[in-house]
């Protein structure tokens, strides 16, 4: 979380800077937006084009003779032999597109935006049904066949227009049920009592370590996403009880499905937002076999603004992304994905005040990339095989200095891996599906770490002395490996019961206890076409962070962390576009690493890297336990004509035990979180939306106001004030003959609530400081598609 605090403070000071300069006042920003929006453009009748391909969800075979219809119009099409369809002459606007067939469950794709400048392409996957099966009438709210509980899905358009989301996948997911809050400067996912390190990210089938700039080493969060939202088709979010094909994480899976580039002609997009600018380009490799490419590059210009404002720290980040799809023939296709980031922090230490401001901030420079190549083969009409190879690499450089400007911590690390994976799926019968898979991963680690001994503010209540963490020096070059295999069967019984059972094996060579087996099972009962009852159980394992293991020789005795999931819930369709979900869960944690030197600390509370003492570079034991329980209520209204929205309520009770055996609340336990989000489309060109969030205060440890000391017997015994904030957004589209201009204004925290996220001791002023989240923050964005 160190760079989240850093990023948050930089934004906070930038807001104060804007407010101190009359020419940057918010009314001026509003004036600029209204000037854009006031233009009224009138053209002769303009039309757009919708194309796409329809596949069988289970077998990935193209589907012929699927009926395609734009609701609210007379426009229709039927898919060809290769599953493709094309509809022309579509009036500009936002549509729902319906896909129907006697052998497949009806599906309605919402938020299909037809504009000038670019043809919309869809990839639709339909779920087959037998004639006597009782099917839930969820044409807008689908789940994969092997998922029964804890599943939410977001489309590109839902993420793009989300108020306060900054087109960032993590920030939008934070508003789904079951997610606790950290600070406004981070997009960490804290799922059902889990830490930020417990989430798996999968991009088009490739496992990636982190999708964020300035990411936390060994965890999965950060301040801003590397992935360009314009590449995204759907994001599927699983918060528990997920299937056996996913592993080595305890709490959630974020499955990002990317779109293909245009196979028809060349397109481009230029985007300018409040923090940076970028460009995307796409086009066909071969029109004949629907092959395409898609590329983007983006750069932040915060460094220019912060330098001009005279800030003591300047963040710089750049990212790039490439995707290519090539169809060899009707049964074989190749896909290549790659994205990377260049992140750097510069400090302006030209005054003593700036030096003091920068002392508690880690230098955080990173270069990272992830790449993957996959080959999908349709073996026959009922089965397919996906073979893939992927590479992840990150170079970290962290540094921290004391009040004398002497370096007291340096972490120069390189972590890389190459993974080979095979996945096979077979529709054995009308109601029986089999999935098999396996993977091997080779890992190369290079560490050059030097950390001086540190005296903490925490006081040992037994001795009255400050705790001391010993010095650590690591100079290692390591090769190790991981592997997994899984098998899973999904069976529909008596036309109402869908049972999924699977088993998974995980292997990790770097620790002494290397092998782990985890069974999973889920059951979905269709009571009526509108009501489902769902159950799930599973054992989940996650290997310890590489850094934890190499910190001390004894840490090779660490085991994989274990969490047992128990989930029950119902889904009820109030109508075709409105769904209510209610779920309860219980998670039982075992073998969580705990600190020997800090007996109050379990590393579930240590995944937000704030200082040099937060990396787990000390002697650890797998003796921590924990329990997380709660319930979630989620009401979702999909866009039909003009209105859409969601409402969620989450309640949780999360407690852990460290080495001293005392049960304490988790750092991430808000107890309750309420999210309300909604929007209204006014005609074809205007859209207005808002999001309100309220959460209970997170636990914190009180500080002695006299000397800054902390009695660890009081660890997490007090709570921060209640958090609440309102974000609003207005958007306007302009349609030209060959291109579309989109403008928006997004105002975060519109009533300027000063939410507290941390109290900390300032050793220079010898006072307790209150750190607050952002106040009001307006952002303008402009993008052009051509």
Rounded average pLDDT over 87-106: 92
Reply yes or no on whether the pLDDT at 163 is more than 70: yes
pLDDT band at 14 (very low <50, low <70, confident <90, very high): very low
Mean pLDDT lowest for which of 1-10, 121-130, 663-672?
1-10
How far is the C-alpha of 728 from the C-alpha of 464, rounded, in Å?
Answer: 51
pLDDT at 40 over 60: no
In angstroms, rounded to a whole number, what is the distance separating the alpha carbons of residues 525 and 534? 6
Cα distance between residue 60 and residue 694, in whole Å: 42
Give mean pLDDT, residues 720-744. Answer: 94
Range with lowest mean pLDDT among 3-17, 366-380, 757-771: 3-17
In this structure, are strands 199-203 and 252-258 parallel, antiparallel, or unpaired?
parallel
Whether the full predicted model's pTM is greater than 0.75, yes or no, is yes
What's the pLDDT at 322? 98
Cα Rg of the chain (Å, integer) = 26
Give exposure, 500-509, as e/b (b: 16+ Cβ within 10 Å): bbbbbbbebe
**Given this model, what pLDDT does residue 461 score?**
78
Sign of CA dihedral 184, 186, 187, 189: negative
Strand order in the sheet with 454-459: 466-469, 454-459, 710-711
How many Cα atoms within 13 Å fall on the side-chain side of residue 155? Answer: 18
Residue 477: per-residue pLDDT: 96
Predicted confidence band of residue 276 (pLDDT cuts 50, 70, 90)? confident
Cα 754 to Cα 257: distance, rounded to the nearest angstrom: 37
Residue 352, Cβ neighbours under 10 Å: how many? 8
Residue 576: the pLDDT is: 87
735: number of Cβ within 10 Å? 19
Rounded alpha-carbon distances, angstroms, from residue 199 to 196, 423, 505: 7, 21, 19
Cβ pair 659, 594 in contact under 8 A: yes
The residue assigned the tokens 């059951």 is: 523
Q: How many CA atoms lie within 13 A of 149 on its CB side?
A: 33
Please report the pLDDT score of residue 485 as a whole number. 98
Taking only the tens place, the pLDDT of each residue in 683-727 is: 889 999 999 999 999 999 999 999 998 888 899 999 999 999 999
Predicted pLDDT of residue 33: 55
pLDDT band at residue 25 using 50, 70 and 90 as cut-offs = very low
Return the higher-pLDDT residue of 140 and 207. 207
CB-CB neighbours of 336 under 10 Å:
15
- pLDDT reading at 39 higher than 80: no
Instruction: Give the mean pLDDT of 511-532.
Output: 96
Using alpha carbons only, give the angle 457, 461, 466 rounded to the nearest 5 degrees. 30
15-29, 30-44, 65-79, 771-785: range with lowest mean pLDDT: 15-29
Q: What is the pLDDT of residue 20?
A: 42
pLDDT (mean) for 192-208:
95
Q: Work out the pLDDT band at 124, boundaries 50, 70, 90.
A: very high
Residue 62 predicted with pLDDT over 50: yes
Mean pLDDT on 148-168: 93
What is the pLDDT confidence band of residue 767, given thresholds at 50, 70 and 90?
very high
Q: Which of 122-126, 180-184, 294-298, 618-622 has the lowest mean pLDDT?
A: 180-184
Please give the pLDDT value at position 712. 86
Listed range (31-35, 685-689, 779-783) with the worst mean pLDDT: 31-35
First CA to last CA distance, the chain: 39
What value does the mean pLDDT take over residues 147-165? 93
pLDDT tens digits along 603-660: 998 755 567 778 899 999 999 999 999 999 999 999 988 999 999 999 999 999 999 9
Identify the residue whose tokens are 């922090």: 345
Give the pLDDT confidence score for residue 5 in this predicted structure.
47
Which stretches of 204-312 are assigned E, i.e. beta strand? 206-208, 212-213, 224-225, 232-238, 252-258, 267-272, 276-286, 291-300
Q: What is the pLDDT of residue 352?
A: 67
- Output the pLDDT for position 133: 57
Tell me the pLDDT of the chain averaged across its residues: 89
| Predicted pLDDT of residue 646 | 97
The predicted pLDDT at position 21 comes to 44
Percent of the chain with pLDDT strictly greater than 90: 69
**pLDDT of 1:** 41
Please report the pLDDT score of residue 705 as a whole number.
93
């Amino acid at each position: 979380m160190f760079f989240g605090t850093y990023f948050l403070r930089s934004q906070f000071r930038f807001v104060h800077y804007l407010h101190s300069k009359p020419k940057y006042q918010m009314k001026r920003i509003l004036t600029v937006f209204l000037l854009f929006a006031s233009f009224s453009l009138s053209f002769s009748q303009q039309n757009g084009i919708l194309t796409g391909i329809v596949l069988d969800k289970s077998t990935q075979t193209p589907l012929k003779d699927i009926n395609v219809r734009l609701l609210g119009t007379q426009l229709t099409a039927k898919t060809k032999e290769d599953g493709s369809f094309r509809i022309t002459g579509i009036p500009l606007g936002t549509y729902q597109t319906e896909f129907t067939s006697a052998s497949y469950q009806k599906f309605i794709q919402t938020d299909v935006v037809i504009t000038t400048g670019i043809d919309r392409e869809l990839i639709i996957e339909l779920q087959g049904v037998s004639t006597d099966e009782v099917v839930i009438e969820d044409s807008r709210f689908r789940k994969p066949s092997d998922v029964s509980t804890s599943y939410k899905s977001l489309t590109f358009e839902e993420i793009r227009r989300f108020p306060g989301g900054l087109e960032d996948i993590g920030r939008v997911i934070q508003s789904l049920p079951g997610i606790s809050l950290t600070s406004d400067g981070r997009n960490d996912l804290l799922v059902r009592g889990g830490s930020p390190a417990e989430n798996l990210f999968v991009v088009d089938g490739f496992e990636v370590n982190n999708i964020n700039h300035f990411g936390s080493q060994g965890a999965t969060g950060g301040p801003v996403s590397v992935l360009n939202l314009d590449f995204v088709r759907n994001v599927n979010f699983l918060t528990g009880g997920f299937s056996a094909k996913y592993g080595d994480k305890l709490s959630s899976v974020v499955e990002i499905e990317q779109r293909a580039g245009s196979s028809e002609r060349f397109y481009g997009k230029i985007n300018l937002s409040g923090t940076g600018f970028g460009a995307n380009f796409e086009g066909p490799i071969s029109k004949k076999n629907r092959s395409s490419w898609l590329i983007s590059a983006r750069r932040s210009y915060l460094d220019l603004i912060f330098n001009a404002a005279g800030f003591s720290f300047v963040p710089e980040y750049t990212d790039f992304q490439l995707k290519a799809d090539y169809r060899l023939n009707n049964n074989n296709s190749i896909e290549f994905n790659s994205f990377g980031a260049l992140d750097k922090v510069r400090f302006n230490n030209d005054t003593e005040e700036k030096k003091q401001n920068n002392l508690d901030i880690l230098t955080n420079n990173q270069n990272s990339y992830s790449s993957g190549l996959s080959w999908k083969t349709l073996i026959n009409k009922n089965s397919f095989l996906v073979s893939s190879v992927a590479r992840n690499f990150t170079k970290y450089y962290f540094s921290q200095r004391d009040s004398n400007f002497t370096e007291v911590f340096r972490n120069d690390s390189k972590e890389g891996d190459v993974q080979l994976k095979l996945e096979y799926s077979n529709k054995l019968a009308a109601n029986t599906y089999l999935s098999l898979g396996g993977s091997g991963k080779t890992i190369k680690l290079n560490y050059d770490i030097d950390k001086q001994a540190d005296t903490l503010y925490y006081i040992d209540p037994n001795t009255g002395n400050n705790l001391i963490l010993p010095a650590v020096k690591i100079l290692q070059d390591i090769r190790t490996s991981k592997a997994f295999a899984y098998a899973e069967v999904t069976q529909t019984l008596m036309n109402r019961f869908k049972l999924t059972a699977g088993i998974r094996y995980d292997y990790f060579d770097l620790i002494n206890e290397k092998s782990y087996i985890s069974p999973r099972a889920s059951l979905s009962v269709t009571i009526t076409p509108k009501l489902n009852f769902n159950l799930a159980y599973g054992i989940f394992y996650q290997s310890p962070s590489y850094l934890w293991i190499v910190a001390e020789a004894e840490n090779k005795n660490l085991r994989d962390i274990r969490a047992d999931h128990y989930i029950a819930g119902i889904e009820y369709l109030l109508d075709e576009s409105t769904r209510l979900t209610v779920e309860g869960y219980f998670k039982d944690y075992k073998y969580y690493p705990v600190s020997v030197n800090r007996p109050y600390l379990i590393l579930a509370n240590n995944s937000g890297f704030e200082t040099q003492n937060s990396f787990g570079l000390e002697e650890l034991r797998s003796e921590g336990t924990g329990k997380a329980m709660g319930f979630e209520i989620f009401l979702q209204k999909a866009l039909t004509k003009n209105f859409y929205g969601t409402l969620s309520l989450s309640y949780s009770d999360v407690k852990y035990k460290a080495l001293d055996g005392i049960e304490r609340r988790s750092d991430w336990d808000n107890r309750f979180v309420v999210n309300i989000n909604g929007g209204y489309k006014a005609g074809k060109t205007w859209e207005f939306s808002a999001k309100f969030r309220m959460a209970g205060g997170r636990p914190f440890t009180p500080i002695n106001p006299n000397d800054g000391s902390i009695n660890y017997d009081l660890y997490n015994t007090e709570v921060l004030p209640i958090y609440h904030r309102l974000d609003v957004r207005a958007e306007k589209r302009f349609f030209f003959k060959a291109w579309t201009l989109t403008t928006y204004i997004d105002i975060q925290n519109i009533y300027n609530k000063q939410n507290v996220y941390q109290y900390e001791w300032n050793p220079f002023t010898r006072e307790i400081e209150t750190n607050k989240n952002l106040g009001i923050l307006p952002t303008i964005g402009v993008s052009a598609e051509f």
